[in-house]
């Protein structure tokens, strides 16, 4: 057992008679490790992208809510009265009347 462990640590399995089989396995294992590392990096990149997009969505949603609130305030009758009063317009004391046009046929 001790001799086998020393042979592995010294690398004798890479130069022995069946070394090509060992080298092929090491190349295959290295290739799989590289694929696994690449896959991990791609997953991390996707997670960061999703996080950035979620932050952007939250920001845009809060901007939308603020703009909608401001629009509702601008459409209020009291606000419109103040705006048109500064231009010299007043609210009519008489209610609007419907005008009916009769044609002469």
Give the pLDDT confidence of 30-61 residue by residue, as tens digits: 999 999 999 999 999 999 999 999 999 999 99
Instruction: Give the pLDDT score at 68.
Output: 96
Residue with tokens 């090491």: 26
List Cβ neighbours of 99 (8 Å cut-off, separation of 6 or more): none
CA 34 → CA 23, 28, 40, 42, 77, distances in Å? 16, 10, 10, 12, 67
Instruction: Give the pLDDT score at 80.
Output: 85
Residues 13/19, Cβ–Cβ less than 8 Å: yes
Residue 96 within any structural domain of the chain: no
Share of the chain above pLDDT 90, in %: 44
Residue 59 within any structural domain of the chain: yes
Domain containing 64: what range? 2-85
Residue with tokens 């209020």: 76
Number of domains into which the chain is organized: 1
């Amino acid at each position: 057992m001790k001799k086998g462990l020393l042979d592995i640590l010294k690398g004798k399995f890479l130069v022995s008679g069946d070394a090509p089989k060992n080298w092929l396995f090491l190349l295959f294992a290295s290739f799989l490790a590289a694929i696994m590392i690449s896959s991990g990096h791609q997953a991390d990149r996707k997670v960061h992208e999703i996080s950035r997009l979620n932050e952007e969505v939250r920001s845009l949603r809060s901007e939308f809510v603020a703009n909608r609130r401001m629009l509702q305030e601008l459409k209020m009758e009291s606000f419109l009265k103040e705006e048109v009063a500064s231009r010299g317009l007043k609210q009519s004391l008489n209610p609007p009347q419907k005008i009916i046009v009769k044609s002469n046929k």
